Homo-oligomer: A and B are copies of this chain.
Amino acid sequence: MSFDLDRIDRNILNILQKDSRISNQDLAERIGLSPPACLRRVRRLRESGVIVAEVALINPRMVGRYINIIVEVEMVRDQLDIYDAFKRKMDAAPEVTQCYQVTGEVDFLLMLLVEDMESYEAFTRKYLATDANLAKFRTLISLRRDKFSTAVPL
């Protein structure tokens, strides 16, 4: 389930977490290894599941999607099957970009990305207001994503 990283692996990950488009040759030079040795390490990190994916990040504002909505959800009862069913629904909802099960009064925290408030209205009707296992939810609106880093600090 976990993986031992040495100094070089950490170095590689820190670079790839910022820019995975770097050529293997440049990466090799920056970490002080030959290209084949570097490539083998990167491969191992991919195959072992440390690197889950390499993706393009796009600016939501450039494509007309820029309202962030945070939703705190409280279920009627703390039951495993109720939780699992809710998670599955959130997983299928394209507006939901993040879903966290949390401890305390609140049960889930959702992060959504929507075009406008009308889209959010539609979402609440489809997924929240009609869920019999959902007790209440609170909405926080954000027009400013001041920081968004996908990098895990190492």
Contacts and interface: CB of A to CB of B under 8 A. Distances in A.
Interface string A61-93: 111110010101000000000000001001100
Given A98-B149, A144-B100, A154 B54 contact: no
A56 B62 contact: no
Contacts of A13: 56, 58, 63
Contacts of A65: 152-154
A113 interface: yes
| Interface-centre pick from A17, A58, A61, A140 (highest chain B CB count, 10 A) | A58
A101 B150 CA distance: 18
Contacts of A62: 1-3, 48-50
A62 to B, nearest CB: 5
Given A100-B146, A109-B142, 15 more contacts: A13-B63, A18-B53, A52-B58, A53-B56, A54-B55, A55-B150, A57-B150, A65-B152, A70-B102, A96-B149, A98-B147, A100-B142, A100-B144, A102-B141, A113-B152
Interface of A: 1-3, 5, 13, 16-21, 48-65, 68, 70, 72, 87, 90-91, 94-104, 106, 109, 113, 140-154
